[in-house]
């Protein structure tokens, strides 16, 4: 799973793109609400606790930040408006189920089809998940305590820098390197102390592959190694089939 312990003070990250990203969230919430928000009643109590915990976090680690929200909105939406991250609330019932989420910046997946489903359902399209990751993922969720938080990174190459990408096919990038985009998700996991729900956050970063090549001599060799060594099923799922060869041609 590639999990690393998370310093509690670094749960959320803010940067120079905050104003633009929060404005984009506001526009999506106004014009495409059902695409970016999904909730079940089973997630309401945990969402209220999440909002309380997030405001406590901001007061402690970012004391200058405003924390006022609209109490008429669902708590998971209020939370999302305060940060650049997307938020998912998972509740343990017969198994772990996604019961509330505000995901404005999906990486080509559809939130509405995931709400209420299990961890295994959510990850069923992912190659190797059923045989290699399903058991340890569920076991980790069951064991996760309230005092230790974790984070991981996930990445891909896409043909667009747009943050909100819901249902587009996973087409491999083509054209010159300036038309390729390196997309990274910084994901965190923590358990809430009262409801026991688990909060999964997703912070999305996108950069031009050409710009990364110019700024870091190790970027292209590392990328080629990752593409060359990825299993065929992963390459097909990610839209990477043939990308390494095209990258070499582009260079």
pLDDT tens digits, residue range 111-121? 999 999 998 88
- Considering the entire predicted model, what is its pTM? 0.91
> Which two three-digit tokens encode residue 13?
């990250």
pLDDT tens digits, residue range 194-225? 999 999 999 999 999 889 989 999 998 998 99
pLDDT tens digits, residue range 102-158? 999 998 888 999 999 998 888 777 766 666 777 888 899 999 999 999 999 999 888
Position 251 confidence tier, pLDDT thresholds 50, 70, 90? confident
> Which two three-digit tokens encode residue 200?
């999964």
Token match 């592959």: residue? 209
Mean pLDDT of 148-169: 87
Q: How do the domains of the chain map onto residue ranges?
A: 4-164+184-208
pLDDT at 131: 67
Q: Residues 6 or more apart from 18 whose CB is under 8 A from it?
A: 84
Q: Is 6 exposed, middle or buried (0-12, 13-18, 19+ CB in 10 A)?
A: middle
Q: Are 102 and 86 in contact (CB under 8 A)?
A: yes
């Amino acid at each position: 799973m590639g999990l690393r312990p998370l310093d509690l003070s670094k749960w959320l990250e803010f940067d120079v793109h905050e104003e633009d990203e929060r404005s984009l969230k506001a526009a999506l919430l106004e014009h495409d609400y059902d695409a970016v928000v999904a909730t079940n009643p089973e997630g309401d109590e945990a969402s209220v606790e999440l909002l309380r915990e997030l405001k406590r976090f901001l007061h402690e680690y970012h004391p200058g930040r405003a924390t006022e929200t609209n109490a008429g909105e669902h708590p998971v939406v209020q939370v999302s408006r305060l940060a650049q991250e997307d938020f998912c609330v998972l509740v343990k019932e017969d198994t772990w189920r996604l019961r509330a989420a505000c995901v404005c910046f999906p990486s080509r997946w559809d939130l509405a089809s995931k709400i209420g489903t299990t961890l295994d359902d959510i990850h069923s399209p992912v190659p190797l998940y059923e045989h290699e990751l399903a058991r340890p993922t569920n076991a980790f969720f069951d064991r996760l305590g309230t005092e230790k938080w974790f984070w991981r990174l996930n990445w891909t190459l896409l043909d667009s820098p747009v943050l909100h990408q819901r249902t587009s096919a996973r087409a491999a990038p083509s054209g010159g390197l300036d038309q390729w985009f390196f997309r990274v998700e910084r994901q965190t996991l923590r358990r809430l102390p009262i409801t026991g729900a688990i909060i999964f956050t997703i912070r999305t970063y996108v950069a031009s592959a050409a710009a990364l090549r110019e700024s870091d001599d190790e970027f292209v060799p590392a990328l080629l190694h990752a593409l060359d060594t990825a299993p065929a099923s992963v390459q097909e799922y990610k839209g990477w089939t043939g990308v390494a060869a095209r990258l070499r041609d582009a260079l």
